[in-house]
């Protein structure tokens, strides 16, 4: 089974977190789901470099602070295994540019569950709600 390694960012602006919606995809289980911005780690790239690159590509965004690793999620999707490293980071503004996603929302912790998240993101959302 194919395995992909991904990095993603929980971006805070004040007490809100950026949630972004994927475009339509032939894989229905990820199609139009909400996720945290990020993407695949390329060969030879560090996790940090991959995340900076992906945030710039997807949102034209440069974090003012990038935290240590928050969580690594292992999730088995029907067609591939996902290993996703998640980092918290801080923004000093709420304006972002959506280069790949179809919508975005800044939500406080208590509202995160209202979105239709990709299955791999559920443990991240739960941990955020329980422990911040």
Ligand X SMILES: Nc1nc2c([nH]c(=O)n2[C@@H]2O[C@H](COP(=O)(O)OP(=O)(O)OP(=O)(O)O)[C@@H](O)[C@H]2O)c(=O)[nH]1
Q: Report the C-alpha gap between 105 and 46 in whole angstroms.
A: 28
Q: Which of 38, 61, 89, 125 binds ligand X (CB under 6 A)?
A: 38
Q: Does 17 bind ligand X (CB under 6 A)?
A: no
Q: Does 52 bind ligand X (CB under 6 A)?
A: no
| Least distance CB 65 / ligand X (angstroms) | 20
Q: Which of 3, 14, 23, 40 binds ligand X (CB under 6 A)?
A: 40
Instruction: State which of positions 71-130 bind ligand X (CB under 6 A).
Output: 82, 84, 118, 120-121
Both structure tokens of 87: 């980092």
Taken in order 25, 28, 33, 35, the sign of the CA dihedral is negative
Helices assigned H by DSSP within the chain:
47-59, 122-131
60: left (phi over 0), alpha (psi -120 to 50) or beta: left
Cβ closest to ligand X, residue 83 vs residue 90: 83
- Choose the binding region for ligand X from 10-18, 38-46, 63-71, 90-98 (rule: CB under 6 A): 38-46
Tally of CA atoms within 13 A in the half-sphere of 13 that contains its CB: 14
Q: Does 18 bind ligand X (CB under 6 A)?
A: no
Q: Does 36 bind ligand X (CB under 6 A)?
A: yes
What are the CA-CA distances from residue 28 to residues 43, 58, 78 (Å)? Answer: 28, 21, 10
Residues at the site binding ligand X, with contacts judged by CB under 6 A = 6, 8, 30, 35-36, 38-40, 54, 82, 84, 118, 120-121
């Amino acid at each position: 089974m194919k395995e992909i390694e991904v990095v993603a960012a929980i971006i805070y602006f004040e007490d809100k977190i950026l949630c972004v919606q994927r475009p339509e995809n032939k894989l229905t289980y990820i199609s139009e789901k909400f996720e945290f911005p990020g993407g695949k780690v390329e060969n030879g790239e560090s996790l940090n470099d991959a995340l900076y690159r992906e945030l710039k590509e997807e949102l034209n965004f440069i974090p003012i602070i990038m935290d240590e690793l928050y969580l690594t999620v292992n999730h088995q999707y029907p067609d591939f295994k996902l290993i996703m490293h998640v980092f918290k980071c801080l923004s000093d503004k709420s304006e972002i540019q959506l280069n790949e996603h179809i919508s975005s929302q800044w939500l406080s912790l208590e509202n995160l569950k209202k979105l239709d998240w990709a299955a791999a993101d559920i443990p991240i959302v739960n941990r955020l709600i329980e422990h911040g």
